[in-house]
Chain A
Amino acid sequence: MTLAPDEQKAPVPEGHVRLTIDGREVIAPKGEILIRTCERLGIIVPRFCDHPLLDPAGACRQCLVEVELGGRPMPKPQASCTMTVADGMVVRTQHTSPVAAKAQAGVMELLLINHPLDCPICDKGGECPLQNQAMTTGRADSRFLEKKRTFPKPLAISTQVLLDRERCVLCQRCTRFSEEIAGDPFIDLLERGAQQQIGTAADKPFQSYFSGNTIQICPVGALTSAAYRFRSRPFDLKSTPGVAEFDSSGSAIRVDTRRGVVMRRLAGNDPEVNEEWLDDRSRFAFRYLTSAGRITRPMVRREDGELHETSWTDALAVAAKGLLAAKEAAGIGVLAGGRLTVEDAYAYAKFARVAAGTNDVDFRARPHSAEELDFLAAHVVGTTPDHLSFTKLEAAPTVLCVALEPEEEAPIVYLRLRKAARKRGQRVYHLGQWTTPAVERTSQSLGSAAPAAKDNLIPAVPGAEAAVLRDLPADVVAALSEPGAVILVGERAAEVSGLYSAVSVVAASTGATIGWIPRRAGERGALDAGAAPNLLPGGRLVTDAAARAEIEKAWGLPAGSIPATVGRDTDEILAAAAIGDLSALVVGGLDPNDLADPAAALDGLREVGFLVSLEMHTSAVTELADVVLPVAPDAQRAGSYLNWEGRLRSWEPALDPSGVLPDCRVLDTLAVEMDADLFTQTPAAAAGELARLGTVERKAAPPTVEAGVPSVPGFGQAVLATWRQLLDASSMSVDEPALAGTARPALLRVNAATAERLGLTEGAPATVRTERGSITLPVELADLPDGVVWLPGNAENSRVRATLGAGHGDLVGVSA
């Protein structure tokens, strides 16, 4: 946009038009909506239904302006949220047109006749567009003497979202969001006229992972959060920008606190990352901060075998003594966990090398493989948004999701894929097991009126993904060969032998860009910070002598002090601990049940000579630890995550940080007690040092593991497919019953033929068993490959790894 001086008319650039708004000439791109052009000029036309990320509706009629086209005034005022700019258009807003001003005042009066004006008790009061605009353009009194429309209130449209219909101005932002952005229109308009209302179908509540966004974009207080309702007023809240800690997207959030308590979290506005959206877990799950299991004081296990609270000095001294002894004995292993900030991960990486003198450090607290380490070192570590970003992902002609269920594992990635599929016709293929909601909602036939052709699932038996990927249909290969095409791969790939290698091969042959989307927020940062057995900070290979020397010099270590061989990975560390090949473990947030073999993991933790745990909440590790050191949650510390794009997402504390310490500080002090210096006293110090180390060019060769062969089910058996759902029994979702109520039901999925073979009936319970245990869930038929059953990975009544000791691709027994 440029403002042209009066005397000389700048030429209108190609694809642009020149128009006049309130006497000011402006050049705007063709197709721009008038209200946006006004915004750019600083002219705010009041509106309710308009939202820049939603399709225009023109429903509220609040944004009427006078328009002259081709020298002829249009007979009626026009909705500036639906009209596009045109050359020579003359626009008069409420500032220069009495007609527009009267029309807007009239609509405002009409909007208020049925509005309860219960602002003093309304959650939205104080941050309400209707309230604000009524104050600026409304009448001081009302001419409405009649009866207002009322509805029973509130209506719980889910356990989490409450609807006060009498407050609703029927702008349809929520229904348009659900249909357009999330793609799960559980809510719609019902009835007509003044009785028109938002509602759900009788037996289908608003079970959307994105429902919280409707609360945030509601321009009145019609949609409120069950957890937040009546709990505070906007003007009592202190807002701090933050970053969502649940997934690897690094979504911008706003943390609203009052008197030292987080009251709510909202989506931040970051067009490059999460736009203005947030998934419900990132929005609503923050009660873990105050849950009963929160550890606030250091604890040491005494002679009586019990943990006792003690001082930091004592706890650190005990920890240092035990670790130094272990270092002299068989050595120390470091399990960093996948939810660390970049700064903390760097501290763990450095602690392992400097204080423990080992490469036995791994951030992967989940099933993993050596192939994965090679893949990450060859393709992922050190990549930045220049390589692949949300923006590039949206612009891609084709995206192939491999071993990734985006809506469950990275909801913001799913929203981008859906947006691209809907707006740009992006072809999104999913190499998976069944047509999940995300597969359906990113289908290519979006936008066409024809019934959705479910043509975007590339099915594979668990374990056969690598073979299927190496033998993709020709049309998919052609689509992936288009410039800008992307292959997204999720952490589940580690469970399928040869899959990371196949991704590497297909990317090389098609030219597609690889994006690695881990499920946890800290994994990408830990990788780049060097909290991995094969990598030092900045993508330096442990096996690279020059890289080791560089790091030794930077850290002030004697030459040759960093071991030259790749260290043990998580499973190997735990196995070594179990048989005394390691004498101590330093653990930073690990749930044995997340690992491939929970029983073996527990053995390692139980049998190891000395166990130091840095954690926020009591866990299975706490029960076995010799020293427990509490660490700070994100809200009480500064820090940053490296999201899957490789974008650094930093934040400052939202709550008073005194009295709690981040991991990097705890490790720094522990190291000092062990006579080693980490210089990671603060996140800023750690971040500064990591930044100074910089990133080196990736030199590792990609993995070359042959495609695995899937297991063949015998009589009464099936191959298990499993992944975790967004809302499940995750420890960070504790104390949020309203959120938990919107979780997808835990169902066993199987195709009709296999169900018949196994004697299963849709809707009836079926049992999946291994030698270790069994899980019983109701059956739902879906389009899985023959001989495959699917279970949710970590639902309350379906903790697959913990109960079955089995995972994706394993054989399980199935019976009715």
Chain B
Amino acid sequence: MTDPLTPVLTRNWRAERSWSLAAYEQAGGYRALRHALTAHPDQIIALVKDSGLRGRGGAGFPTGMKWSFIPQGPDGPGAKPKYLVVNADEGEPGTCKDIPTMMADPHSLIEGCIITCYAIRANFCAIYVRGEALHPIRRVRHAVEEAYAKGYLGKDILGSGFDLDIVVHAGAGAYICGEETALLDSLEGKRGQPRLKPPFPATSGLYASPTVVNNVETIASVPHIVAGGSEWFRSMGTEQSPGPKIYSISGHVERPGQYEAPLGITLRELLDMAGGMKDGIPLKFWTPGGSSTPLFTAEHLDVPLDFEGAAAAGSMLGTTAVQVFNETVSVPWAVMKWTEFYKHESCGKCTPCREGTYWLVQILERMVHGQGTEEDIDTMLDICDNILGRSFCALGDGATSPITSAIKYFRHEFLDLIAAQPAVARPEQLAELSGASA
């Protein structure tokens, strides 16, 4: 591959005032919408299905299939109002793709929303933006106003008879609200905690009505698919994971940033684009898709970063938040920091995540301060085993990924921490010293 960069989603990011409606239209924006409005909604769903677009929020669920789950028809569940909710609560550590999209190209998101709503026959769309991202919220709100003024939103859009209202909602600072059902509860004004599934959002989502919840990047891809067709879309990426993807590269590289590339690119290629490791210090470990995806090491430089490739190598594609760490970083320390994040953000609903992260942080902090034991490593692995697959939602699972993968690849670093401390007969004496009894 000579030039792996395929700017599709990021094509207009560098344009003058790229966020404005004028710039977007000048670059061909809202043409896909006009095209889509001439088609039958089912044709749009079929097109997106054919394109193979998979959810960009981390789970990779086929988008067209999700849309087709929305009940249609004049009676029964199809008679209820239908909703599109865009998950813009980008909070996964290392992830930085939706916020720049909303900053640089909010109209691509709005055009995607309109086409999606037309396809699923929704007349109301909510964009739930992470509350801390104040500037993007303003950008998107302004873009929505522009779209209303131009007739892209509101009643009888472009004379098609299709009505749509978009509300941009600011979250209140909870990681859990990136979980789709917690997001829906939060949007309804309730405490943001995940809901029991079933019923799934497709039948009983926002206000107990059929709802599609999609990530910003997923929705922003839709106008391009409508404009370029499914064949064009499939020309990028792999058979199972087609299309372009924004990889957020952060950490010890020369030029951190957003790099759009077809799915299936490798870290080796991404590092080339990002100017290589910072100051030439060698790579030690990295996350392929945010802190909730198990770590990779230098061994994994050539793992194709698509849904299947990452999974086959023992991790997950996640949000393609590539955090790169060089040899200067202590793995237990990094894992401790991540775990502190999960402890802080655990919503508290279920026991394993709430109590498990509380416990794990304390063990890790103790270890990093040189007061760990070998037993602690086994205890942590066992706690992780008691969280993984036992918690209410996937956040508990995510909290275990950095720990189990770090111990898998870097157990010696944890052992080194123990060896570095003064000799104490353990663990009985430790219990005594710390005065703890449980």
Q: Name A residues whose Cβ lies closer than 8 Å to a Cβ of B.
A: 56-62, 64, 75-77, 82, 102-103, 106-107, 109-114, 117, 142-149, 169-170, 188-189, 191-196, 448-449
Contacting residues of chain B (334-390) with chain A, CB-CB under 8 angstroms: 343-352, 354-359, 362-363, 366, 379, 382-383, 385-386, 389-390
A106-B382, A111-B355, A189-B193 are known; give 13 further A-B pairs, CB within 8 A: A59-B392, A60-B351, A77-B390, A106-B386, A107-B390, A109-B386, A110-B359, A113-B358, A142-B437, A144-B359, A149-B358, A188-B191, A196-B348
B196: A residues at CB distance < 8 A: 56-58, 82
A113-B359, A192-B174, A194-B355 are contacts. A75–B347 as well, Cβ < 8 Å?
no
Q: Is the CB of A61 within 8 A of B350?
A: yes
Q: How far is the CB of B292 from chain A (nearest CB, A)?
A: 16
Asked if residues B343 and A75 are in contact (CB atoms below 8 Å), the reply is no
A–B pairs, 13, beta carbons within 8 Å:
A76-B389, A102-B386, A110-B351, A142-B437, A145-B431, A146-B366, A146-B434, A192-B176, A192-B346, A193-B347, A194-B343, A196-B348, A448-B208
Closest to B371 in A: A145
Whether B359 and A106, one on each chain, are in contact in the complex, defined by CB atoms closer than 8 angstroms, is no
**Contact indicator A449/B344 (Cβ below 8 Å):** no
Chain B, residue nearest A450 (CB): B207
Chain A neighbourhood of B382, CB < 8 A:
106
CB distance from A678 to the nearest CB of B (A): 61
Interface core residue of B351, B352, B356, B383 (most chain A CB under 10 Å): B351
Q: Report the Cα distance A170→B358, complex, angstroms.
A: 15
- Choose among B196, B347, B427 the residue with the greatest number of A CB atoms under 10 Å from its CB: B196
Q: CB-CB contacts of B310-353 with A at 8 A, as 1s and 0s?
A: 00000000000000000000000000000000011111111110
Query: B383 to nearest A CB, angstroms?
Result: 8
Determine if B424 is an interface residue (Cβ-Cβ < 8 Å): no
User: In the complex the two chains form, what is the Cα distance from A149 to B343 in whole Å?
Assistant: 13
Write out the residue numbers on chain A whose beta carbons fall within 8 Å of the beta carbon of B363: 146
> Complex: how many Å from CA A61 to CA B176?
18
Complex Cα–Cα for A367 and B437 (A): 65
Shortest CB-to-CB span from A404 to chain B, Å, is: 32
Most buried by A among B343, B344, B389, B434: B389
Please state if A449 and B188 are interface contacts (CB–CB under 8 Å).
yes
Residues of B within 8 A of A188 (CB): 191
Interface residues on B, range: 35 or more
B208 contacts which of A64, A192, A449 (Cβ < 8 Å)? Answer: A449
B362-A61 in contact (CB<8A): no
Q: Is the CB of A106 within 8 A of B358?
A: no
**7 smallest beta-carbon distances between A and B, as pairs:** A106-B386, A196-B348, A146-B362, A76-B389, A142-B438, A110-B355, A144-B438
Chain A residues, CB < 8 A from B385: 102, 106
Does B354 lie within 8 Å of A196, measured CB to CB? Answer: yes
Contact B386 A189 (CB under 8 A): no
A195 CA / B354 CA spacing, docked (Å): 9
Q: Do A192 and B348 contact each other (CB < 8 Å), given the known contacts A106-B385, A145-B430?
A: yes
A114 with B390: CB separation less than 8 A: no
User: A169 near B351 (CB under 8 angstroms)?
Assistant: yes
Q: With contacts A193-B345, A194-B348 known, is A148 near B438, CB below 8 A?
A: yes
Cβ distance A716 to chain B, nearest Cβ, rounded Å: 44
Contact of B420 with A by CB under 8 A: no
Bits for B173-210, please: 1 = Cβ < 8 Å to A, else 0: 01010000000000010010100100000000001100
- Find A114's partner among B343, B347, B355, B383 (CB 8 Å cutoff): B355
Residue in contact with B350 in the complex, picked from A56, A58, A102, A195, CB distance below 8 Å: A58
Asked if B391 is at the interface of the complex by the 8 Å CB criterion, the answer is: yes
Would you give the shortest CB distance from A198 to chain B, in whole angstroms?
A: 11
- List the A side residues contacting B366 at CB < 8 Å: 146
- Which of chain B's residues has its CB closest to A171's CB? B351
User: Nearest chain B CB to A70's CB is how many angstroms away?
Assistant: 16
A84 and chain B: residue at smallest CB distance: B198
Q: Roughly how many angstroms separate A133 CA and B392 CA in the complex, as a whole number?
A: 21
Selected from B347, B386, B438, the residue in CB contact (under 8 A) with A103 is B386
On chain A, the residues within 8 Å of B358 by CB distance are 113-114, 149, 193-194
Known A-B contacts A61-B392, A110-B352; the reply to A189 vs B191 at CB < 8 A is: yes
Nearest CB of chain A from residue B198's CB, rounded to whole Å? 9
Whether B436 sits at the interface, judged by CB under 8 Å, is: yes
CB distance from A539 to the nearest CB of B (A): 49
**C-alpha gap A650/B50 in the complex (Å):** 71
A712 to chain B, nearest CB (A): 45
Contacts of B392 in A (CB 8 A): 58-59, 61
The answer to whether A193 touches B343, judged by C-beta atoms less than 8 angstroms apart, is yes
- Which residue on B lies nearest to A114, using beta carbons? B355
Cβ contacts under 8 Å, A192 to chain B:
174, 176, 345-348
Beta-carbon contact of A59 and B390 below 8 Å: no
Asked if B427 and A145 make an inter-chain contact with CB atoms under 8 angstroms apart, the answer reads: yes
Chain A nearest CB, measured from B401 CB (Å): 15
Interface residues of B in 380-437 (CB under 8 A from A): 382-383, 385-386, 389-392, 427, 430-431, 434, 436-437
B371 to chain A, nearest CB (A): 10
What residues of A have a CB within 8 angstroms of the CB of B348 in the complex? 170, 189, 191-196
Q: Is the CB of B349 within 8 A of A59?
A: yes
Contacts of B389 in A (CB 8 A): 75-77
Give A145 to B176 CA distance when docked, in angstroms.
28
Most chain B Cβ neighbours within 10 Å, of A109, A147, A169: A109
Chain B residue with Cβ nearest A79: B392
Cα–Cα distance between A653 and B346 once the two chains are bound (Å): 51
Residues of B within 8 A of A103 (CB): 386, 390
A57 to B350, CA, bound (A): 10
